[in-house]
Structure 1
Amino acid sequence: MATARSLGRAGGDVENVMYYEVYPAQGLQADELEIMRRQLLESVLPHMHGHIWQRDCFNLRSSFVKRPPWQQQAAGKGAQPACLWGSVCFGDNLEDEWFVTWLLLELTRRQAGTVVRAWDSDGDYLLIEAAYSLPKWLKPETSHNRVWLHNGKVHVVLLPSASNPSLPPAPTVEQALQIVRAEGVSTEASAGVQRAITDRLAGYPAKAAAEMHTARCVLPARLAHVLSREQQLVAPAVEAFHYRDVDDMKAAARLAHFPAEDMVSTLVTFNRCLYAQLAQQQFEAPRGFPLPLPSHPAFRAAELGMKLTCGFEMMYCNRARFGAEQYQQTEVYQQSTVALAAPARRLEELLKEPINPEALQQAGAGAEDDDSWMRSGAAELEAELQQRQQEMQGDLDRHAARSAGQPAADSSFDPANLASQLQEFVATMSSYEGAELPDSGREQGLPGPASNLAGLLGLRLPENADTA
């Protein structure tokens, strides 16, 4: 996975990116995999209707058309089975990553035999979420090609053990797929792991819709028209505003492309992260931009519209960053894909269209959403902290119970003999991972100096690798 961590958008955020591979139940030819791709996209499209993505839209591409970039970097390690793949930069909005995770799990439920793996720039984020329920052997250095999604559940390919001696110590993708699908080997992760992921995904897909926020903005008619035709363009505009630099400020001061003319009141849909990024920042209006007094009821909508207008101006003036990227489009999401991959280019297309006054009037009808959620998150934060505290306490309790079951160290241990006892301990058994304890000592404790030294150094014996 490490090779994928260096991949990202040129000049953009390469850290907050998730990657995924979708493997069909059996080997498919190029045309068959393309049919599967279309079917899967169409099956999840209803769940994404009206969703405003922070950076990238969920997508699937065929490895027959283009291999995943991370596989290209690892080309010398052997060919991998054909798959559908994609990546999503979720930027500052972590909920996009978990929404995509829910979509991937849904694909494994809908398409029998489908196996998926997903990770992000931090590694196996599913394991991070379920950290307090993992066996001790499952670590970043041992998790490569072991964590999968199948039949709506998390699966973990185990280490070879007495009960499963034929399992590979370092599985390839093809070996891992065979093991996950095999009936003779149980790879379904423990109830604790499943519960951690299920709890994190609780409420989806309705939760994704609840994360959208509609606010009233006063905008130039040209921009109101653009957003009535392509709501997703609000995301790159807010990003440009939120991460503005000196040159962006100069562009906003001029408003050469979007002057404050023919102002109309309209409703704009954001995700909550985008709305908070726009609403919470202090920003002085460009000279000549019409704003009512702060005490006026229309001030909030006018100020939001002013910030959004400046964001569009910044984005449009920085077309090299917001217009150069071209991704393979799909018929299912053609407009939203274009809006995210090359927003400035899509903006230019929409600005050439004639403005429809009736459409603008319809876009401005209705009420905006209540934004009190921005000031009432203390209870949710407290509940989340309590849940994490309970997980930590449970892990500490389990560790204490294990420690209580170990024999007490020999009280005759003399610290003055530490050097000689260390040599004796290391000489007991050694492997590529360093000094090990004999098998007989794993359950009964080690007699003599080795036991004393292990206790003094706080060494913990490895647990059984038969569980996940």
Structure 2
Amino acid sequence: MANTEMYNTKSDDVIECFLYPQFCFTSNPEQVTEELLLNEIVKYNEKTEIFTKNYIWHRDSIQFYPRTKRTLLLEKIFKGTGEAGDQIIPHIHATLRFDEDVGDEWFIVFLIYNLTKAFGGLIARISDSDGEFLLIEAANFLPPWANPETCQMRVFVLNESIHVILDKHKPLIDILNSLCHRPNAYKLSEEVQSIIRKRISVYPEEIKERVHKAKAYLPEKAAAMFQHEAGLIAPAIRMLFHSDPFERKVCRGMKYFPPEQRVMVNVKMTKCLYAMVVHCRYTGDPMTGWNLPPVNSPTYNAHLLGVKIACGLEMLVARAHEELRKRKNDENNISNNEGLPMNNKKLNSYISQLELCGYFKGLLKDSQEREKLLKLAKDYFVRNSSSSELINSSLETEADRALKLWKNVQTNDVEIQAQEESTLSPADSDSWLIIDEIQLDKLLGERWDDRSSKGHKQSSQNLRGKVQDFLSEKTDVEGVQLFGDGETKSDVEDNGRIEFDTDVFDSTLQDILDLVVPGGDGEFDDSSEGSLGGDGEDTGEMDKYINLLDAELRTKQVMGDQSTMLKSPDKVELNLMESLSREAGGSGPTGNIIGGPIQKLMHLKLQSPSTVPPDLQS
């Protein structure tokens, strides 16, 4: 599938690649012509063809385009984007929209890695809507200084390795030359490299693993079209999956793929496409005449799959006819004296950009001077349009390709599809659509390379000791700081990283929720008084405050509602606990008197007087 438009990398499903052959940054940019870049593209296509030949793309296929200084300047005028003047370096560019199948994105990374290995001096930069997603993949092993601000547009792939240059003020041409002459100075750690290599190590075996073969009962012409171009299955399924009831109206008549003559065939698609079409609830218009067999029939799934694919093709060809009609109307609307071979919409967009940039100097419309400037702008547009993929109207859309193939397939071509069903190869099992809990855990473990469960268990077992250490610490205005074995405050301050392990967090949180405050069961080695960190004298002072406060609260309770006290004497006994609980760890009179440690214990959900430490029980 052709890459039909220039996508904004802010979209969630677009990957963008910049390839800098060595001659692009070691010679004068003015001397790098499109011919040189096109010759380099031919080499890249030959190198990647062995992997992409039978690859089923979800949306776009990767296509390389030359970008010279002239092309970049035109793009800057046309789109209002582009690099700064001193950053304009000729290069080879590619964008690809992968939509729902992120596998296409990592396949592109695999291809770029192979190109940097095969062509010495080739430097590549790859990004998507998340920015430097290669660093995101290896986030757990990045150095402390690596963050989105310092690494944006500073991540490069050279000789199958990731390099980062931090100097934001360094021109791009100097960055590329520095990487070429001293690559080891900017190369990230081997841990980072291994994470990315592991992510793409599934290729090229994954190319076969991602394919699902199924049986489909298709209209004969649709079956013949898939024989000529198997990749057409992707736009057909996506068209059906994303269609609305208004677009599906064309499927009532099935003008282009009538259901009267159908044949059972094998079709190949990616597992992502198969999952999409299986879970699409559209079953065709009942008035069309699909004549589906009973649901319990062994051929029902093949018939239903054929209906869905045929309807997707029907909508695709219908859209192509509509686009063709609109293009003809646009061409008729262009005046003869303009003589432009591209559609009027792109021309108007180009002129609007010139208007915003002040090109026309505020001149009145239809004035002689403005018309002269307008003619110069149009001539420049026509002269440069052949070198820019942004405004080249010769590129085909998916719908155009489907329509062209539909026209080229002759009636006698469909006869070769009329095979006996017994001669077809069996469909692949779709059991992979259902994953149980064990399989999911295994997949997640393989994907994220979790730390050993032994380390998790040890961290969980040390929780009670850490709680005891926390309660025993004396604090200042900055709060309690606990350090590991052999660790000092300076060591913690020097280490600017904050590591977060989700599994340790989950197990630790569960232990906290299950923890019972010690009440003489010997769960902690020290007594509850020792756990509070006070000696005998300090505890006596605290008891005085507690008894005084408790007496005052009892008096107020008796004065406020004596009858309630007689009915519920236990309520008075727990007034101190209720006061702490209502403060919920915030500022309050009870918490200010008793202090922080007991407040911390209140967060452990004291549920009954039996779980209250002895020194707090009346």
Q: How many residue pairs end up in the alignment?
A: 391
1:255-295 deviation line (CA, Å, top 9, x unaligned):
23322121011111211111110012222332221211122
Q: Residue 218 of structure 1 contacts residue 304 of structure 1 at CA under 8 Å; is this kept in 2?
A: yes
Match of 2:20 in 1: 23
Match of 2:450 in 1: 390
In the alignment, which residue of structure 2 is the partner of 1:381? 440
Identity of aligned residues (%): 24
User: Structure 2 length normalisation: TM-score?
Assistant: 0.57
Does the 8 Å contact 1:21/1:86 carry over to 2?
Answer: yes
Letter in 1 for 2:284: A
AA matched with 1:59: Q
**Equivalent residue for 2:119?**
111
Describe the shift of the 1:262–1:37 C-alpha distance in structure 2 as closer, same or farther (beyond 3 A).
same
* Secondary structure of 2:399 counterpart: helix
Query: TM-score if structure 1 supplies the norm length?
Result: 0.73
DSSP 3-state at the match of 2:149? coil
Is residue 220–residue 263 contact of structure 2 (8 Å, CA) maintained in 1?
yes
**2:182 & 2:117 partners in 1: Cα distance?**
17
Residue of structure 1 in register with 2:476 after alignment: 413
What is the match of residue 344 of structure 1? 399
- 1:421 corresponds in structure 2 to none
- Paired residues for 1:304-323 under 5 Å: 304-319=305-320
> Against the structure 1 CA distance between its residues 275 and 73, is the aligned structure 2 distance closer, same or farther, given a 3 Å change threshold?
same
Q: Write out per-residue CA displacement over residues 320-345 of structure 1, whole angstroms, 9 at most, x where no aligned residue.
A: 8987999x99xxxxxxx97xx51222
CA distance in 2: counterparts of 1:171 and 1:362, whole angstroms? 65
> How many Å separate the matches in 2 of 1:175 and 1:133?
27
Match for 1:42 among 42, 46, 68? 46
The alpha-carbon deviation at position 377 of structure 1 amounts to: 7.2
What residue in structure 1 maps to residue 106 of structure 2? 98
Query: 1 CA distance for matches of 2:477 and 2:432?
Result: 62
Q: Which amino acid aligns with 2:267?
A: V
d(CA) in 1 for partners of 2:170 and 2:272? Answer: 39
Which runs of structure 2 are paired with 1:421-432 in the superposition (5 Å)?
Answer: none
User: Displacement, 1:78?
Assistant: 2.7
Tell me the CA shift for residue 150 of structure 1: 0.9
Gaps of at least 5 residues in structure 1 are 1-5, 160-167, 330-336, 397-403, 417-442, 464-468
2:150 aligned counterpart, secondary structure: coil
1:360 aligns to what? 417
Return the offset for 1:81.
1.8
Question: 3-state SS of the aligned residue for 1:36?
Answer: helix
Match of 1:124? 132
**TM-fit CA distance, 1:461:** 5.4
Aligned to 1:149: 157
Contact preservation (8 Å) 1:145, 1:176: no
CA contact (8 A) 1:260 1:290 kept: no
**One-letter identity of the residue aligned with 2:207:** A
The question of whether the paired residues in 1 share the 8 Å contact of 2:150 and 2:168 is answered with no
Amino acid at match of 2:300: F
Letter in 2 for 1:256: K
Larger Rg: 2
CA distance in 2, matches of 1:144, 1:13: 14
CA distance in 2, matches of 1:460, 1:244: 56
Tell me how far apart the structure 2 counterparts of residues 100 and 32 of structure 1 sit (CA, whole Å): 23
Question: Measured at CA, do residues 29 and 392 of structure 1 come closer, stay the same or move farther in structure 2, by a change above 3 Å?
Answer: farther
Equivalent residue for 2:222? Answer: 223
Q: Secondary structure at the match of 1:213?
A: strand
| Residue in 1 that maps onto 2:429 | 370
Letter in 2 for 1:99: F
Cα 1:200/1:395, change in 2 over 3 Å: farther
Deviation at 1:98, TM superposition (A): 0.3
Answer yes or no: is the 8 Å Cα contact 1:115–1:177 preserved in 2.
Answer: yes
Instruction: Name the structure 2 match of 1:419.
Output: none
Counterparts of 1:239 and 1:13, CA distance in 2: 22
After TM superposition, give the deviation of residue 171 of structure 1 in Å. Answer: 3.5
Question: Alpha carbons of 1:382 and 1:77: their partners in 2 closer, same or farther (altered >3 Å)?
Answer: farther
Q: Structure 1 residue 358: deviation in Å?
A: 4.9
Distance 1:349 1:17 in 2: 27
Helix, strand or coil at the partner of 1:93: coil
- For the residue of structure 1 that corresponds to 2:218, the secondary structure is strand
Do the aligned partners of 1:16 and 1:121 also contact (CA within 8 Å) in 2? yes
Q: Name the stretch that deviates more: 245-254 or 179-188.
A: 179-188
Check 1:57–1:13 CA distance in 2 against 1; reply closer, same or farther (3 A cut): farther
Distance 1:148 1:392 in 2: 32
Output the CA distance in 1 between the equivalents of 2:203 and 2:436. 19
Match of 2:204 in 1: 205
Q: 1-side partners of 2:323 and 2:217: how far apart?
A: 24
Task: Give the corresponding residue for 2:291.
Answer: 290
1:298 to partner: Cα distance: 1.3
